[in-house]
Amino acid sequence: MFQKYAIIVAGGSGSRMQTSQPKQFLPMGGEPVLLHTIRRFFNYDPALVLVVVLPEQEMGTWQQLCAQHGFQVPHQVVAGGQTRFQSVRNGLAALAHAEEGVVAVHDGVRPFVDKAMLETAYETASRQGASVVAVELKDSIRRVRGGSSKAVDRTAYRLVQTPQCFRLPLLRRAYAQPEVAQFTDDASVVERFGHKVQLVQGSYRNIKLTTPEDLVLAEAFLVQEKGK
């Protein structure tokens, strides 16, 4: 067995959602999105060490929401940075005293992560160092260049999700690199550091709440889950 950690990043402003409240705090089935996400990790493994990264100015909001919803899942709260990279780095700093184990980095706005996916991602990273959940493309894709476009082979690509799991010392060393614009996720950081990343099966339900229509889908998923 190995110790499991999770850094749940919720330090963004949610500009594409176009709501006054950051999307991680929006209600979904009557409870904040972030609360659902954290609970999924706790239900997977109550012994998991949880670090939640929040916008510095929203610490009070989160405290209030936890009190309002009687949310008791133990977690450490850390202030985020200007970019996702900086938020993950701040989350890692909160684990400075942890030595071994596997850490998942997960978007706070992906509330439909499930137990099977978490188990596969953690186990794969414990054996191979780095794992990333991903799904096949459902649409055709085209490469755009200048004013024209060209069809490309979609079977050669995957859509990358979170959780992305890593042996803790590896992720720590990778995040000591200087930030570059190409770092859109944790896998890209670890890969640039020189470590291969193993893809594992994600899910089409594991959506990232990004734009307003994603909330409609999320509510529908919840209704469906409650009916099961």
Ligand X SMILES: C[C@](O)(CO)[C@H](O)COP(=O)(O)O
Ligand Y SMILES: Nc1ccn([C@@H]2O[C@H](COP(=O)(O)OP(=O)(O)OP(=O)(O)O)[C@@H](O)[C@H]2O)c(=O)n1
Span near ligand X by CB under 6 A; candidates 69-77, 158-166, 175-183, 216-224: 158-166
Up-side HSE of residue 212: CA atoms within 13 Å toward CB?
Answer: 3
**Both tokens assigned to 163:** 């959780």
27 backbone dihedrals φ, ψ, rounded to 5°: -75, 140
Rounded least distance, CB 89 to ligand X, Å: 14
Rounded distance between C-alpha atoms, residue 64 and residue 216, angstroms: 25
Cβ proximity to ligand X: between 67 and 181 the closer is 181
Using rule CB under 6 A, residue 208 touches ligand X:
yes
Residues in the chain: 228
Which residues make up the interface to ligand Y (CB under 6 A)? 9-16, 24, 53, 80-84, 87, 107-109, 208, 210
Rounded distance between C-alpha atoms, residue 10 and residue 213, angstroms: 20
The option from ligand X, ligand Y, none interacting with 184 (CB < 5 to 8 A, set by class) reads ligand X
Give the total of residues touching ligand X (CB under 6 A): 9
Which residue intervals of the chain are DSSP H helices?
A: 33-44, 59-68, 84-93, 115-128, 168-174, 186-192, 212-226
The option from ligand X, ligand Y, none interacting with 53 (CB < 5 to 8 A, set by class) reads ligand Y
Residue 25 burial (C-beta neighbours within 10 Å; 0-12, 13-18, 19+): buried
Span near ligand X by CB under 6 A; candidates 39-47, 160-168, 199-207, 220-228: 160-168
Using rule CB under 6 A, residue 158 touches ligand X:
no
Contact with ligand X (CB under 6 A) among 22, 65, 107, 171:
107
What distances in angstroms separate CA 11 from CA 58, 97, 123, 137, one per listed residue?
A: 9, 22, 27, 28
Cβ proximity to ligand Y: between 71 and 128 the closer is 71
Using rule CB under 6 A, residue 162 touches ligand X:
yes
**Both tokens assigned to 228:** 């099961």
Rounded least distance, CB 31 to ligand Y, Å: 16
Using rule CB under 6 A, residue 185 touches ligand X:
yes
Which residue intervals of 103-153 are DSSP H helices?
A: 115-128
Sequence letter at residue 5: Y
Cβ proximity to ligand X: between 57 and 184 the closer is 184
Rounded least distance, CB 161 to ligand X, Å: 5
The option from ligand X, ligand Y, none interacting with 160 (CB < 5 to 8 A, set by class) reads ligand X
* Footprint of ligand X on 35-64 (CB under 6 A): none
Which residues sit at the interface with ligand X, rule CB under 6 A? 84, 107, 160-162, 184-185, 208, 210
